[in-house]
Chains A and B, each alone.
Chain A
Amino acid sequence: MNSELVNKHGGLREDLSPFIKEFKHALYIIKRSPLTLLGFILFLIFITIAIVAPIIAPYDPFEMRLSEAFQPPSWKHPFGTDEMGRDILSRVLWGSRISLRVGVTVVLTALCIGTILGGIAGYVGGVVDEVIMRITDLVLAFPSMILALALAAALGPGLNNAMIAISVTWWPWYARLVRGQVLSIREAGFVEASRCVGASGFRILFRHILPNAFGPVIVNASMDFGWTILTAAALGFLGIGAQPPQPEWGLMISVGRIYFMDKPWIATFPGLAIFLVVLASNLIGDGLGEILNPRLRRR
């Protein structure tokens, strides 16, 4: 009889049920807050565009037609054309791929380095903590934009080097955040309980401490996604990020700036694209803060 019971209720479906419940809760919060919903919609549009850009872009983003240079927005070129006669809509659409790559790579790199170092610092403590955190302070003490500029310039211009430079200036924030989280969670009752049960330090760190520390980290990451794109655009704007003729938004603004007074569309549309992506990432960050807080769940 007992085995029947197990057969009926055991198995994969039951193991998944708490996660399905979690997912439903996330949907509920998203539905309740229109701004979060807007953020997710904008972000989904952004991702979709990045994926299908080669299909939906009306023109080749690199193709120059000098005879069609500086055309204002029209039905033929909805966002107009730039100084080389390239279609700006196509370039903005293609630019989303670069931005997506920058955002994902930089945030993931910074998050991984920061989480590992911050996690170790907080969990081990003592001398290790002291050493890691002083290095972190060292990097943070330097104005991040200037450090990124200097690094990118030293590594040589180019998008990949810009991404490396931004990652290097970005991880200390995660190290600090994770360390603080780990320090407080390390003292929680369930960590002691787990230790008492005989769990290894590895298991405690990865199964108990880090998952509980991750809420604020994810929130931070989703906001940083926008900021790193903005920083990469700034480096592009200053000439040490993406190089021409890449359809990078910051670079496009940089070129469009020269003609801004009489041909504003060249800089405006890439600028709008950056604005919308950064906005989306911030709105999602706020929403996630609520979704990921277990204490706010179901009362």
Chain B
Amino acid sequence: MKSGEDVILRVVNLKKYFPLGGWFFKRRSGYVKAVDGVDLEIYRGETAALVGESGCGKTTLGRTILRLIEPTSGEIYFEGVNLLKLSKGEMRKMRMNMQLVQQDPQSALDPRMTVKASVGEPLVVHGIARGRELRRRVLHLLRRVGLGEEHMNRFPQEFSGGQRQRICIARALALNPKFIVLDEPTSSLDVSVQAQILNLLKDLQRDLGLTYLFISHNLSVVRYISDHVYVMYLGNIVEKAETREIFKNPLHPYTRTLFSAVPIPDPNLKRKRLSIKGEVPSAIDPPPGCRFHPRCPEAMEVCSRVKPELREVEPGHQVACHLYR
């Protein structure tokens, strides 16, 4: 689409291992490989969606990109700057460019702060505005997300879920960021409210030229909002393509089963339901070779030995699977 070649965020071989077991008395018994060698490229002005089932590491990846979780290894370039090389102070400045909207607006707002204080906090922290100016800016932000003056001095617990999410979005916008990680921003909301929030996000993107990383497991939402889709399974990206392409032509067996689960609003349409057996294997001790092979309906001998690399099979369509080479 409009993306062009301008890469705003590039992630190279990012890994995050959480050590298991504690300190001093207990021995370290292993690692949870939540993110295990992920490469991403997000273009300016687009929405990249990150999909996958619960526990596959989507959220950890989002947090790690923002350096809210320190990665174990890898590189993150934001507009060409390697975030992991920045000092604490430099990173704090850098945070003005990249923000987060969390999944649960219930806990995302400090219950002891008024909306004004919460939304204004970024401006206060960076010394951008105080007093009247702060008030003016907060009001502007609230109007931007469809709230008004009368909401400024209320506490979060006086609002509905959708309104709270609007407040969180206003806070994320306060510093005029270029890039926002949206971590399942609509999954805790009613369907009708979901649509409102999604439209708000789309409008904001259009008006402010934002770039989104949209983390979700809701494929209908992803189809509606995103330009590119990354499919994640157990800490790895298994497929990447443009949204239209991946919905039309999913290649990886995991993507195919995942996408066959999307309900289609047509009662007469018969289609083959693909299903996979078993549970997601534990990320503590992931299976060797392709991580999906124990559940894969098309597993071959090679899959249990060699880990497939992400490879371009069609222009712009990458997949990590031994079926395509």
Contact = CB atoms under 8 A, between A and B. Distances in A.
A188 B108 CA distance: 7
Max chain B C-beta neighbours (<10 A), residue from A18, A126, A197, A199: A197
Contacts of A18: 114, 153-155
B108 A10 contact: no
B108 A198 contact: no
A183 B92 CA distance: 23
A6 interface: yes
Contacts of B63: 192
B112 A211 contact: yes
A5 to B, nearest CB: 8
Contact of A192 (B102, B132, B153): B102
Given A6-B135, A6-B136, A298-B157, A190 B68 contact: no
Interface string A7-33: 001100010011001000000000000
Contacts of B191: none
B58 interface: no
A212 B96 contact: no
A92 B93 CA distance: 61
B96 A130 contact: no
Contacts of A127: 23
B157 A294 contact: yes
B122 A197 contact: yes
A168 B310 CA distance: 62
A17 B152 CA distance: 11
B157 A193 contact: no
Given A211-B112, A212-B111, A297-B157, A199 B66 contact: no
A203 interface: yes
Contacts of A298: 157-158
Given A6-B132, A203-B125, A294-B112, A196 B100 contact: yes
Nearest to B123: A197
The contact size tier of chain B is 35 or more
Contacts of B108: 189-190, 193
A17 B66 CA distance: 36
A197 B126 CA distance: 9
Given A196-B66, A294-B157, A9 B23 contact: no
Interface in A113-127: 126-127
A197 B135 contact: no
B107 interface: yes
Contacts of A294: 111-112, 155, 157
A208 interface: yes
Interface in A271-299: 294-295, 297-299
Interface residues of A, number: 32
Interface string B94-106: 0110011010111
Given A10-B132, A130-B24, A195 B171 contact: no
A67 interface: no
B108 to A, nearest CB: 4
Contacts of B114: 18
A295 B157 contact: yes
A193 B23 contact: no
Interface in A191-215: 192-200, 203, 208, 211-212
Contacts of B149: 9
Interface string B24-58: 10000000000000000000000000000000000
Given A189-B107, A193-B108, A126 B126 contact: no
Given A130-B24, A295-B111, A197 B102 contact: no
Interface in A17-60: 17-18, 21
Interface of B: 23-24, 63, 66, 68, 92-93, 95-96, 99-100, 102, 104-112, 114, 118, 121-122, 125-126, 131-132, 135-136, 149, 152-155, 157-158, 168, 171, 174-175
16 contacts: A9-B149, A10-B131, A10-B132, A14-B152, A130-B24, A188-B107, A189-B104, A190-B110, A193-B108, A194-B121, A196-B66, A197-B121, A198-B125, A203-B125, A211-B112, A298-B158
